[in-house]
Amino acid sequence: MAEHAPATRVTYDYVTRTIARTLGGPTRGYFLLLGAAIALLAVGIVTLLFLLRYGLGLAGYSHPVYWAVYITCFVFWVGIAHSGTLISAILFLFRSGWRTAVYRTAEAMTVFAVMTAGLFPLIHIGRQWYFYWLIPYPNERGLWPNFKSPLIWDEFAIGTYFTVSTVFLIMGLIPDIAAVRDLATGWRKKLYAITSLGWTGANEQWRHYTRGYLYLAALATPLVLSVHSVVSWDFAMAIVPGWHATLFAPYFVAGAIYSGVGMVITLLVPIRRLFALDEIITVHHFENLAKLCLLTGSIVSFSYMTENFVAWFSGNPAERAAFWYRAFGPYWWASWTMNICNGLLPWLLWSKKVRTNITALFVISIFVNIGMWFERYVIIVVSLAGEPYTTWANAVYNPTWADWGIMAGSFGWFFMWFLLFVKNFPAVSISEVKEVLAPPRRGQVRATAGGAGGPR
Amino acid sequence: MSALRLPLPASLRELFKAPPTPGVLAVFSHLDTMLDAIKELRAAGHADFTVYSPIPRHEIEGALGQPVSPVRMFTLIGGIAGCAVGAWLTLWMSYDWPVVVGGKPVGSVPPYVVIMFEMTILFGALSTILGIVFNALFAARRSGSIPYDPRFSNDRFGIFVPTGSDKAGGGAAKIESLLRASGADEVRRG
């Protein structure tokens, strides 16, 4: 793995202790944040109870807009999940050293984002108690699901993605939990002793672990690319103008990684500041994340141009009308938010000054996610609302409190799990950060003072 | 095991604890001195020793000359099984409850490829985990428990060389002097 040595006072011991110090001793600020997340979640739960009692009519659905904010949020959260696996699995295969300091947070974000996304298909079906009909279970009517439907593909893809991401996260955590186990006391020591599964760092353990980790990364890589492709086919397999495009799979995957990297930056900036991890998560890491953002943002910009060009070039009047409606119809404000935040904003990242300015990156990352939420809104809602053959039906879609309540609840759910994670398990990978440091060798006398060389 | 103490009365806890393996434990601060020690131990004919490290290093694997891990077999078999299960599931269920749509095939492979692919990944990943756990447990099938130092997960490397009961005393002393000569920071019997 590429070794780039940070300041020489960053030794193995420094890494272990700095990261172990972030666990335990939650402050009042932490409990305030956690309380806010739980409060948002409570709003979501109350809204869900109303939906269960009174039905989906509480949401803003109107003919022909029957997929709206809930599906937007679903695609939004699944998209965010993808960059975590990209950073942890795909960059692992590329042997990039900088990923080590950021991938644990990204992977945890992935698992919790998939958990959040998975709530939405359950919420939006309305009769949630029938959700098990989607599962191929033997029943006395002899029914099986329709495997030609992208919604069933979704079920398999997202179920697999959740399982594999969770398993990947847990595998990576084991050596790190062992490291904090050896420094912990009290009830945490017991928790870590159990969850580290008796890890001792013996050569036999590392041998099988590293091979297995490599194969998990290799399996997770095509999974990332396939899952959001499958999600995009929820739309592309339909014939709605604006949905029915072969571009959707790569377009959505690039957009997913774009929004996910934005969320990683949003999460890492406070983690780095509040946990004082400046020497481990450096400006160099943020710059690389910004470069990923720029790359995927450019692909998304290009996709917007392609979509619009092909709609015009096709000569198909329905397709042309759909894209005209997007830009100049009643939802023009959503389209222009999307185009500016996703099409123009990433171009700021060409400037090294912007890429290395943490505050600027934080602000940009928030707008990235706003823009990506609106992209899904525009694709889903505006394409449906603009269906030309229903202009007589005068469809105007407006989200209601039920839509926003569930969305707020999803943010609460995600941040609650994430906050619980960062205070109880190492949010930065201890063993992998050590892997990119030069190991302590007695053989070479190091010119700079520091702990990593010379006789002790 | 290092820190897990079962909440049982002492006599019962003894029942569950593995008997300790006698041997010599050495603690190293530096990677290169530990690699020298490994070479010396192998030259002296020892094969069944355990090396502790806070991170995996290719140099350690190379010095120990271990064969490639068999976990890859688990991954391969799991992946193939997943693909087969996905194909069987979708095709059998399609023919068992046929959804007849205007001349289109009842069991249609292109959409089923998506499901077969996902099942390949799912089964492959789960069997990789099984492979890691099974192999690591199998490797730890010693008759007893070996000593551990909590610093091994932080910044120290370690070697534990078991001494057989017939070589007790003389054997252990020789191993101790070999490890000290290689540059171990601490050597202790246990």
Closest partner residue to B32 (CB to CB) among A143, A163, A441 is A441
Amino acid residing at B16: F
Q: Which residues of B touch A16 (CB under 8 A)?
A: 54, 153-155
Rounded CA separation A198/A190 (Å): 12
* Contact criterion met (CB below 8 Å) for A262 and A82: no
Q: Which of B112, B121, B134 to mutate to test the interface with A (most CBs of A within 10 A)?
A: B121
What is the rounded average pLDDT of the residues B164-178? 73
Residue in B with minimal Cα distance to A178: B153
What is the rounded average pLDDT of the residues A437-454? 59
Q: Which of A:421-450 have CB within 8 Å of B?
A: 431-432, 434-435, 439-443
- In this predicted structure, the answer to whether residue A54 has a pLDDT above a threshold of 60 is yes
* Contact criterion met (CB below 8 Å) for A100 and A5: no
Residue A130, min C-alpha distance to chain B (Å): 20
ipTM of the complex: 0.91
- In this predicted structure, the answer to whether residue A451 has a pLDDT above a threshold of 70 is no
What are the pLDDT digits (tens) for B9-52? Answer: 666 666 777 778 888 999 999 999 999 999 999 998 888 889 99
pLDDT for residue A166: 96
What is the rounded average pLDDT of the residues B87-104? 91
What is the rounded average pLDDT of the residues A46-57? 94
Q: Which of B:129-168 have CB within 8 Å of A?
A: 129, 131-132, 135-136, 139-140, 148, 150-155
* Contact criterion met (CB below 8 Å) for A233 and A152: no
Cα torsion A446, A452, A454, A455 to 10°: value is: 180
Rounded CA separation A281/B139 (Å): 36
What are the pLDDT digits (tens) for B107-131? Answer: 999 999 999 999 999 999 999 999 9
Helix (H, G, I), strand (E, B) or coil at A298: helix
Q: Which of B33, B69, B153, B185 to mutate to test the interface with A (most CBs of A within 10 A)?
A: B153
pLDDT for residue A448: 40
Q: Which residues of A touch B49 (CB under 8 A)?
A: none
What are the pLDDT digits (tens) for A26-46? Answer: 999 999 999 999 999 999 999
pLDDT for residue A389: 58
CB contact (8 A) between residue B2 and residue A206: no
Q: Which of A33, A5, A22, A90 is nearest to A417 (CA)?
A: A33
- In this predicted structure, the answer to whether residue A281 has a pLDDT above a threshold of 70 is yes
pLDDT for residue B138: 82
Cα–Cα distances (Å) from A171 to A104, A168, A195, B126, in that order, read 11, 5, 11, 11
pLDDT for residue A456: 35
CB contact (8 A) between residue B128 and residue A216: yes
Chain A contact for B182 (CB, 8 A cutoff): no
Sheet hosting strand B186-189, strand order edge to edge: B50-52, B157-162, B23-28, B186-189
| pLDDT above 90: percentage of residues in chain B | 62
**Tokens at residue B172, please?**
């252990």
Q: Which of A135, A151, A219 to mutate to test the interface with B (most CBs of B within 10 A)?
A: A219
What's the pLDDT band for A335 if we cut at 50, 70, 90? very high
What are the pLDDT digits (tens) for A379-399? Answer: 999 999 887 655 555 567 899
Q: What is the DSSP string of B151-170?
A: GGGTT-EEEEEE--GGGTTH
Helix (H, G, I), strand (E, B) or coil at A453: strand
- In this predicted structure, the answer to whether residue A369 has a pLDDT above a threshold of 70 is yes
Rounded CA separation A209/A214 (Å): 9
Rounded CA separation A434/A418 (Å): 24
Helices then strands, counting H and E runs in chain B, come out as 6, 4
What is the rounded average pLDDT of the residues A134-153? 92
pLDDT for residue A394: 53
pLDDT for residue A455: 40
Residue in B with minimal Cα distance to A149: B111
Residue, of A163 and B143, whose pLDDT is higher: A163
Q: Which of A:109-168 have CB within 8 Å of B?
A: 136, 142-148, 152-153, 156-157, 159-160, 163-164, 167-168
- In this predicted structure, the answer to whether residue B2 has a pLDDT above a threshold of 50 is no
CB contact (8 A) between residue B75 and residue A219: yes
**Tokens at residue A161, please?**
């993605």
A-B CB pairs within 8 A amount to: 203
Residue B165, min C-alpha distance to chain A (Å): 23
Residue, of A255 and B101, whose pLDDT is higher: A255
pLDDT for residue A1: 45
Q: Which of A156, A140, A215, A116 is nearest to A418 (CA)?
A: A116
- Torsional class of A453: left (φ above 0), alpha (ψ -120 to 50), beta (otherwise): beta
Q: Which of A:173-192 have CB within 8 Å of B?
A: 175, 178-179, 181-183, 189-190, 192
pLDDT for residue B144: 67
Q: Which residues of B touch A162 (CB under 8 A)?
A: none
End-to-end CA distance of chain B: 14
Rounded CA separation A170/A211 (Å): 15
What is the rounded average pLDDT of the residues A69-96? 94
User: What is the overall mean pLDDT for chain B?
Assistant: 87
- In this predicted structure, the answer to whether residue A454 has a pLDDT above a threshold of 50 is no
CB contact (8 A) between residue A144 and residue B94: yes
- In this predicted structure, the answer to whether residue A12 has a pLDDT above a threshold of 60 is yes
HEC readout, A91-109: HHHCCCHHHHHCHHHHHHH
pLDDT for residue A21: 92
User: What is the overall mean pLDDT for chain A?
Assistant: 91
- In this predicted structure, the answer to whether residue A6 has a pLDDT above a threshold of 60 is no
- In this predicted structure, the answer to whether residue A50 has a pLDDT above a threshold of 70 is yes
Q: Which residues of B touch A157 (CB under 8 A)?
A: 114, 118
Residue B121, min C-alpha distance to chain A (Å): 6
CB contact (8 A) between residue A442 and residue B30: yes
* Contact criterion met (CB below 8 Å) for A176 and A431: yes
Closest partner residue to A144 (CB to CB) among B53, B96, B119 is B96
| pLDDT above 70: percentage of residues in chain A | 93
Cα–Cα distances (Å) from A400 to A4, A61, A73, A116, A279, in that order, read 51, 9, 14, 20, 46
CB contact (8 A) between residue A204 and residue B64: no
Q: Which of A302, A297, A231, A227 is nearest to A261 (CA)?
A: A297
> Structure pTM?
0.92
